[in-house]
Amino acid sequence: MTHFALGARIGVLTTEPVGLLDYLAPEGGVRLGQLVVVPLGPRRVMGCVWGAGEGGFDAAKLRPVARLIEAEPLTPAVLEFLSRAAEYTLTSLPVLLRMATRAPGLADPPAPRRILHLTGPEPQRMTEARRRVLDVLDEHGDAGLEPGELARLAGVSPSVVAGLTTAGTLTETEAPRDAAFPRLDPSRPGKPLSPDQAAAAEALRARQPEGYSTTLLRGVTGSGKTEVYLEAVAECLARGRQALVMLPEIALSAEFLARVEARFGARPGEWHSGITATERRRLWHMAGRHGVDLVVGARSALFLPFRDLGLIVVDEEHDGAYKQEDGVWYSARDMAVLRASIEGAQVVLASATPALETWVNAQTGKYHRLDLTDRHGADLPEMAAIDLRAEAMEPGRWISPTLTREVAERLGRGEQSLLFLNRRGYAPVTLCRACGQQVGCEDCDARMVEHRVLNRLVCHQCGASRPIPTTCPACGVEGKMAPVGPGVERLAEEVSARWPQARVAVLSSDLFQSARALKAAIADIAAGGADIIIGTQMVAKGHNFPALTLVGVIDADLGLQGADLRAAERSFQLMRQVAGRAGRAGGKGLALLQTHQPEHPVIRAILSGEEEAFWDAEAAARRQAGMPPFGRLAGVILSHPDLGVVTGFARDLAQRAQPLGAAGAELWGPAPAPIARIRGRHRVRMLIRAPRQAPLQEAIRAWLEGVKLPANLRLAVDIDPQSFL
Ligand code: ADP
Ligand code: ZN
């Protein structure tokens, strides 16, 4: 490890936009990758020792590093990963360093941390605010919470927390030093594997000594992919390295954590938005000290400072949640491959319905591919279309007579049915029957969606909400406002009206206050606590509902239309995933798709199960059009409160796009974005397409070099865009 002695000139990458600056190594010297606090003008900022200093700045004027941060130095592999990820995503390096150092209080001077525990009796005077504090401690209580975070989670002022301490209900202690996580034991036996599972597990194990490799692990839901990649985890741990399993919706992984514990005898580290600052801090430090063997996390876990990462599993690798479209625009799946190639680690991309890019990479031999053919202990569900043109639909109802019969049958047998509708809220549109006007958001180019549980209209773009009007905001006529179309809440109303005795559970992300409440609801459903489950796309993700034998897709046509490059691919994946929920635990499953176009190629591919044919056809169409992965795309998104400013600027930018042309890239646009306004900002998009081998990033960098942005104009570059909105 490179060490810089006292007084040596070192380059420190700060987390400020200034980037790399030269400083002098402090007393005792400093190591490469060490996190430090350095003076910057009158301020002190965090930075990372990036290498030897550049020179060119008067040595006499150099200032020494102010202090070392108490944390393991980032490894050379982490530094290289951050540099290359910055280059790839066209993000500035300081921004990526900030992402990789997101541990609460990291740069604070060392001081004992105080944490509060619930110890005493309830206070004599109980207020609603005090009750909330006690509830939060109840929920996250085991390790206690720092006063500031406790107040924030409870949504109360610090004085409420202080009052409870004075009253003797809470006790303050000094936080213990962050402890390592319990070791996982890879030598414990896994489940006996079926022959093709065993062969896949062996192939993954055998590849680990090679260092870097990427393998697509393909198999229908329930075929045992998790069982197989847990064997790769075991191998990685046995080799003394750390493993990371990424899941798209970590809040829903209670079942997964229990499986890891059953397999390895201890729980893994968890990294996602639902963990407390204390847990986050501990995990961040333990990743760097090899004090945690396995981390299960959401996409940002990829930026943890692992000491020796030997395996990254990306479960449900096709999932859109791996793409971050804000701040740093990156795909965690693709960045996982980058990080693994630097760390000499193995990547496993698991999916029943891989992304087309992944499928092509496996097809061309860039990735290895393993297929699990059998569904463990259960048959794939039978699938059929319900042709809505031939059904006698009642007005204002969305469940066809055929689907109604099937649900009723399940109810009679004590089995569960799942009705899938990818629309949150009560109704997607609120319309005035007098003037025909739809209620839109004042700040966005979006319709307001009725949420009856909240008794409000909500904008799904910006979150703005207002009471459901009884008078039309456009024409002033009273009592004519009407909901149009179905959302999950409205579907729940229909279900309750049809089957008043049935127990109905609605799974929609906005109906739960906390990740914990959602976990509890899912566990309750899995234990048989509901007869009919109504859900948005969040139910498509890996839950196991053993009594579920019927899946009804309310509107299989949703998502078939749309100008989106990936519309067909996405609805194919989503519907296959949902259909895969039925009959997981032995019972025979049935999946029914309500559609107006049973002859649509996507619907036909889903029903016939001829997936390879579907992928072949999609790949051929993309190749023909020079679209990814046969060509490369980048989106440019510009926004400004003033439409004139943003269109004018975009037009100028397009005028000077010679560097793009020189690299063989084409520029389309500028054009108003499909969602032309969000939060009061007008949005304009451009799309760049380049041949596969073109130096796309360099060309864009050259194009945008030295461009002066008008005040308040935002410009984002989205390499490999997933969404075009
Ligand atoms: P996938 O990840 O492909 O959806 P899972 O690994 O979750 O599949 O397997 C589905 C279910 O079948 C799980 O409950 C799992 O424990 C069980 N299972 C899979 N393979 C085996 C096996 N070899 N022995 C026992 N149970 C298995
Ligand atoms: Zn809005």
Confidence at residue 586, expressed as pLDDT on a 0 to 100 scale:
60
Q: Which residues line ligand 1 (CB under 6 A)?
A: 191-194, 197, 219, 221-227, 376, 544
- Condensed to tens digits (0 to 9), the pLDDT of residues 541-574 reads 656 788 888 889 898 887 665 556 666 677 677 7
- pLDDT(250) > 60: no
Bigger pLDDT: 138 or 214?
A: 214
Rounded to whole angstroms, what are the CA distances from 169 to 30, 98, 151, 161, 639? 45, 38, 15, 10, 50
Cis peptide before 670 (omega within 30 of 0): yes
Please give the number of the atom of ligand 1 that sits closest to the Cα of 544: 14
- pLDDT(377) > 60: no
Confidence at residue 353, expressed as pLDDT on a 0 to 100 scale:
83
pLDDT confidence bin for 587, thresholds 50/70/90: low
Lowest mean pLDDT among 162-176, 337-351, 488-502, 510-524: 510-524
Confidence at residue 303, expressed as pLDDT on a 0 to 100 scale:
96
Confidence at residue 193, expressed as pLDDT on a 0 to 100 scale:
93
Q: Which two tokens stand for residue 634?
A: 């980048």
- pLDDT(141) > 80: no
Bigger pLDDT: 83 or 275?
A: 83
Question: Which residue CA neighbors atom 6 of ligand 1 most closely?
Answer: 224
Ligand nearest to the CA of 255: 1
CA–centroid distance, 273 to ligand 1, in Å, is 27
- Condensed to tens digits (0 to 9), the pLDDT of residues 689-699 reads 999 999 999 99
For the chain, give the mean pLDDT: 87
Ligand nearest to the CA of 440: 2
- Condensed to tens digits (0 to 9), the pLDDT of residues 27-36 reads 889 999 999 9
Please give the number of the atom of ligand 1 that sits closest to the Cα of 352: 3
Bigger pLDDT: 253 or 416?
A: 416
- pLDDT(142) > 90: no
Provide mean pLDDT across the span 616-633. 85
CB neighbour list of residue 36: distance below 8 Å, 6 or more residues apart: 12, 26, 30, 46, 47, 48, 49, 65, 66, 67, 68, 69
From 204, 226, 316, the mutation candidate for ligand 1 (largest count of ligand atoms within 8 A of CB) is 226
Q: Is the distance from CB of 73 to CB of 3 less than 8 angstroms?
A: no
Lowest mean pLDDT among 271-285, 372-386, 432-446, 639-653: 372-386
Q: Which two tokens stand for residue 531?
A: 């007869």
Confidence at residue 670, expressed as pLDDT on a 0 to 100 scale:
86
Confidence at residue 44, expressed as pLDDT on a 0 to 100 scale:
92
Confidence at residue 121, expressed as pLDDT on a 0 to 100 scale:
79
Q: Is the distance from CB of 399 to CB of 552 less than 8 angstroms?
A: yes
Confidence at residue 56, expressed as pLDDT on a 0 to 100 scale:
72
Provide mean pLDDT across the span 257-269. 93
Helix (H, G, I), strand (E, B) or coil at 443: coil
Please give the number of the atom of ligand 1 that sits closest to the Cα of 191: 24
Domains and CATH numbers, the chain: 3-100 (3.40.1440.60), 113-175 (1.10.10), 195-372 (3.40.50.300), 382-423+486-618 (3.40.50.300), 631-719 (3.30.70.600)
From 376, 541, 584, the mutation candidate for ligand 1 (largest count of ligand atoms within 8 A of CB) is 376
Provide mean pLDDT across the span 519-531. 87
d(CA 614, CA 370) in angstroms, rounded, equals 19
Provide mean pLDDT across the span 14-43. 91
Confidence at residue 379, expressed as pLDDT on a 0 to 100 scale:
59
Provide mean pLDDT across the span 166-178. 79
Tell me, rounded to whole angstroms, the distance of Cα 319 from its chain centroid: 8
Provide mean pLDDT across the span 237-241. 96
- pLDDT(378) > 70: no
Please give the number of the atom of ligand 1 that sits closest to the Cα of 219: 3
Reported in sequence order, the residue ranges of 61-175 that DSSP labels E, i.e. its strands, are 67-68, 114-118, 170-174
pLDDT confidence bin for 374, thresholds 50/70/90: low
pLDDT confidence bin for 723, thresholds 50/70/90: confident
Please give the number of the atom of ligand 1 that sits closest to the Cα of 228: 6
CA–centroid distance, 298 to ligand 1, in Å, is 22
pLDDT confidence bin for 326, thresholds 50/70/90: confident
- Condensed to tens digits (0 to 9), the pLDDT of residues 454-483 reads 888 888 777 788 888 888 888 888 888 888
- pLDDT(64) > 70: yes
Confidence at residue 560, expressed as pLDDT on a 0 to 100 scale:
65
Confidence at residue 540, expressed as pLDDT on a 0 to 100 scale:
65
Provide mean pLDDT across the span 37-48. 93
Bigger pLDDT: 343 or 378?
A: 343
Rg of the chain, C-alpha, whole Å: 27
